Amino acid sequence: MLSLRVASITFLALIAFAANSVLCRLALGGGSIDAGAFTAIRICSGALALLLLVRGRGVSLDPRRWLAAVMLFVYAACFSYAYLELTAGTGALLLFGAVQVTMLAGGLIAGERPGARAWLGWAVACAGLVYLVAPGVEAPALRGAGLMAAAGLAWGVYSLLGKGSADPVADTARNFILAAPMSIGLFAATYKMTDAVHWDGVAYAVVSGAVTSGLGYVIWYMALRHITSVSAAIAQLSVPVIAAIGGVVVLSEAISERLAVSAVIILGGVALGLSARKP
């Protein structure tokens, strides 16, 4: 079972992930910025914030450690572009489905053997997720589905790589700094003069990058040092519920009976899965 400290930092990381979803919806859904610009500003803002955080310490930019940076860039870019073609429900199922498969497979390959309680909690939480997003699920556009699956795969690999982090702050800073040129290249290759870039969209991207991504991912790497890959996968199933609650608070979305019921199911399943003894 997770200690109070580990549970607290894990919960903070999950709140950051959910906040990213809300900020992305605010920016891209309102048409105040295009996906390429949002991705570039998000990653570059995160890199700048983390560079200030580690100033004086030095950050190793060893080219042999570029994989995490590439995965970070792939996740952020594919996530932004996929939601231009997918509904929220379909995107959530594809994203978290890919994350679950990647992280569960990684944990099993690494020798983790979850008990019956962990598997039961995972199944209950997955059922709650399906119930939550079912009304918004539709046959996805092939390109959008592929992009979101790639985003989930990349995020799963990024999380698995974080389990070996000895210095979460420095490692996350390196990942963002190395991913920044990739995001700028994406922006340069896709930007059109007719694309809208308004100040509110820029502001959402900066907050998403500097706070909920940069600092949020540092906290996530800190949490990953103390939990199994399977536990990390299970915990992330709570993100859609937190994001939905954020939508109610920030976007004035209605609290539906479906949201209330699914929240109980998902969070109950997550609690059950995380209460299992660490294998």
Residue 176, pLDDT score: 95
pLDDT less than 50: residues of the chain: 279
Residue 215, pLDDT score: 94
**Average pLDDT, rounded, for the chain:** 85
- Token pair, residue 152, equals 């989930």
Residue 58, pLDDT score: 65
Residue 276, pLDDT score: 67
- Token pair, residue 94, equals 């594809």
d(CA 68, CA 134): 32
C-beta of residue 155 within 8 angstroms of C-beta of residue 73: no
Q: Which residues of 244-272 are buried (b: 16+ CB within 10 A; e: fewer)?
A: bbbbeeeeeeeeeeebeebbebbbebbeb
Residue 141, pLDDT score: 76
Residue 204, pLDDT score: 93
Q: Where do the structural domains in the chain lie, given as residue ranges?
A: 4-274
In the chain, how long is the greatest CA-to-CA distance?
Answer: 55
